[in-house]
Chains A and B, each alone.
Chain A
């Protein structure tokens, strides 16, 4: 395996959802859910993707898996452009890229046994030819995620939230994917159970050499699991850096504010907090220039004129902000 081998890359990815209106339901505008996002994930790396609700995280995850079609930009898997691959050609890639969903309650079919849920992707991709082979694989997967092979014959409602999330992880791992999008995999879980699932994902990453895009709005969870982190705001990436750099030495005003907003579980820690004013603007009509400028305490008149490019400020550390004299 080559060092620094890029497994997945997106270039200027865009997803605009049309808004229809009027009696003829003509397109009257668009939601710029993802508006020119670029990043690369190396093999065996975990890239965290954070940002507030509606910033476009889920849309990035789904678009790069081609579960929804991009409006623009390119998606490369192992250097191969898969943006326009037709369905039949996409199939082998579908096996190699899987997704884990946020909601462990609605993402599992309540009428299927746990065994059938986990075996389903094996059947779809023609892996595990005989029922016996599949049963063996399911048993192995259940053990891998910390459940017992006896659980195979039970139904999802018989499991707790954390256990269901383990089932969802086993299903994603069934076809031995190399790349997984984990979309808020612990957000719906209780605090004490979150840690179990975070630890499990970390172990699996080590054991199986998985590459992950870990989407979450909880910055502390993301820091634990990620090698690098990208911060999104209104469909754009504001900053990308190694997790250590980003949390210790944020360079973008939005990252700075986001970090300072997280309450610290220690009553003796007193911090100067930056309270962002107002709400996130609508992605239908984002501000001109820098999309963060309406809430940025460092904004200058120029910030309304140009869209800041994501540029490298120190090795491996990128920010999209025109001001170099701050932070």
Chain B
């Protein structure tokens, strides 16, 4: 580990040029290929993108949970400021050091809570186990804290519920248990990978409200992964848009929705049907033509070029456009962003 890794005071996490590749029988899948972003203390960063764009692989890399083989972090840094104040590059930590970070400093919740809850133990045992492991509390104390956590996430009769097995709970309830478990050790970063995607909208609303409330109370930072732009608008302070393994745009949430710079971001925003627009303003949805590319055969240059209406042959398909600062605190990966913005203005 290089001595004296530096990171801005407000930063909690800084991912720099991360590359994660999967070496499969069919070829190399560059699932994440040069992704950079940061998360400040107390903020919520949303990572949005379609299926296969590399959102989960990014999250799993931060937790160092990439299945190896076939996957490997082949480049980049993942700088993280621990509770002890020290900045470490998670990409280079030993498994033993990583175990101290996981659950303690960084916790993660997944789309389908059933895959991360153990079906043969009660939820009380599972939460208490996590608490005992990270905080060295006695079993009795851990159980009390577990009940307190269930109460905090809004599960009625928490003491009784400790004795339930995961299958005795509904999907929304299990997601609450996952959140309780994740927050039981006061992590400074919560990674939430599509935490509401499998849930009904009314239950999603409950979970989103809960996460916002808990963030206010506890003050942790959240890395929120989703493909739902409505959820992004509701939860995020800042947003990173991913396409085919790369970040293509980064901005604060309001400017991103108001004035998206990358043609893909614009396309996405226009293709979602919206409930809030009065019926007479509704035209046809503006679909993005074509398909999400096969990760084994990414288009040359800008990976979005076969679907982009601003594509210029010889300009867009030669080299991967760099992620450029726009001067107003935003970043965009498109060689034509200036012209496109001017035409619209």
Residues of chain A touching chain B, judged by Cβ–Cβ distance below 8 Å, are 52-53, 160, 162-163, 190-196, 198-199, 202, 217-221, 223-224, 243-244, 247-248, 257-269, 273, 275-277, 279-280
- Assuming the contacts A244-B279, A263-B208, A266-B233, asked whether A192 and B271 have C-beta atoms less than 8 A apart, the reply is yes
Give chain B residues whose Cβ lies under 8 Å from the Cβ of A223. Answer: 273, 275, 279
Q: Determine how close the nearest CB of chain B comes to the CB of A106; give it in whole angstroms.
A: 16
Does B229 count as interface, using CB distance less than 8 angstroms?
A: yes
**Residue B269 CB within 8 A of the other chain:** yes
Q: Are B287 and A195 in contact (CB under 8 A)?
A: yes
In the assembled complex, 29 residue pairs joining A and B whose CB atoms fall closer than 8 Å, in A order, are A52-B201, A190-B50, A192-B287, A192-B292, A193-B287, A193-B292, A194-B271, A196-B288, A199-B284, A199-B285, A223-B279, A244-B279, A247-B279, A257-B202, A262-B230, A263-B208, A263-B230, A263-B233, A265-B230, A265-B269, A265-B272, A266-B257, A267-B233, A267-B234, A267-B236, A269-B233, A275-B205, A275-B209, A279-B172
Known: A162-B291, A224-B285, A273-B209. A266 touches B202 (CB 8 A): no
Do B50 and A192 have beta carbons less than 8 Å apart? yes
Which residues of the other chain, B, contact A221 by a CB distance below 8 angstroms?
Answer: 273
What residues on B are CB-neighbors of A194 within 8 Å? 271
The answer to whether B275 touches A264 (Cβ under 8 A) is: yes
B203 at interface by CB-CB < 8 Å? yes
- Compute how far the CA of A191 lies from the CA of B279 in the bound complex, rounded to whole angstroms: 21
Q: How far is the CB of A46 from chain B (nearest CB, A)?
A: 14
CA distance A279 to B273 in the complex (A): 27
In Å, the complex CA distance between A202 and B50 comes to 24
Chain B residues lying within 8 Å of A248, measured Cβ to Cβ, are 278-279
Which chain B residue has the least Cβ–Cβ distance from A259? B275
Cβ contacts under 8 Å, B288 to chain A: 192-193, 195-196
Q: Are B202 and A192 in contact (CB under 8 A)?
A: no
| Chain A contact residues: helix, strand, loop or mixed | helix
CB-CB nearest 6 A-B residue pairs: A263-B230, A195-B287, A195-B271, A192-B288, A261-B205, A195-B285
Using CB atoms and an 8 Å cutoff, list the residues of chain B in contact with chain A. Answer: 50-51, 170, 172-173, 200-206, 208-209, 227-234, 236, 253-254, 257-258, 267-269, 271-276, 278-279, 282, 284-289, 291-292
Contact call B272/A261, Cβ cutoff below 8 A: no
Most B-side CB within 10 Å, residue of A191, A219, A269: A191
Compute how far the CA of A277 lies from the CA of B170 in the bound complex, rounded to whole angstroms. Answer: 13
Evaluate contact between A191 and B257: CB separation under 8 angstroms.
no
Shortest C-beta distance, A7 to chain B (Å), equals: 24
CA distance A53 to B199 in the complex (A): 9
Q: Are B206 and A276 in contact (CB under 8 A)?
A: yes
Cα A259 to Cα B230 in complex, Å, equals: 13
The complex places the Cα of A220 from the Cα of B282 at a distance, in Å, of: 11
Contact B172 A261 (CB under 8 A): no
Closest to A163 in B: B291
Instruction: Compute how far the CA of A277 lies from the CA of B271 in the bound complex, rounded to whole angstroms.
Output: 32
Please measure, in the bound complex, the distance between the C-alpha atom of A261 and the C-alpha atom of B230, giving whole angstroms: 11
- Cβ-defined contact, B279 with A273, below 8 A: no
Give bound CA distance, A53 to B197, whole Å.
13
Cross-chain contact B230 with A196 (CB below 8 angstroms): no
> A269 vs B229: C-alpha distance in the bound complex, in angstroms?
13
Docked CA distance A85–B233 (Å): 51
Given known pairs A190-B50, A219-B275, the reply for A196 and B287 (CB within 8 Å) is yes
> Which residue from chain A places its CB closest to the CB of B201 in the assembled complex?
A261
Minimum C-beta distance from B142 to chain A (A): 27
Q: What is the CA–CA distance of A223 and B285 in the complex, to the nearest angstrom?
A: 12
Contact for A266 among B50, B276, B287, CB less than 8 A? B276
Minimum CB distance partner of A263 in chain B: B230
Contacts of B231 in A (CB 8 A): 263
Q: Across the two chains, which residue of chain B brings its CB closest to A200?
A: B287
B51 contact set on A, CB distance < 8 A? 190
- Please name the residue on chain A nearest to B52 by beta carbon: A190
How long is the Cα–Cα vector from A202 to B288 in the complex, in angstroms? Answer: 16
Q: Is B285 a contact partner of A198 (Cβ separation < 8 A)?
A: yes
- Selected from A193, A199, A217, A277, the residue in CB contact (under 8 A) with B201 is A217
Which residues from A are CB-within-8-Å of B291? 160, 162-163, 193
Q: Are A52 and B287 in contact (CB under 8 A)?
A: no
Known: A163-B291, A192-B292. A52 touches B202 (CB 8 A): yes
**A204: min CB distance to chain B, Å:** 14
**Additional A-B contact list (9), CB under 8 Å, known A220-B273, A267-B233:** A193-B288, A194-B271, A247-B275, A257-B202, A264-B274, A265-B229, A266-B276, A275-B206, A275-B209
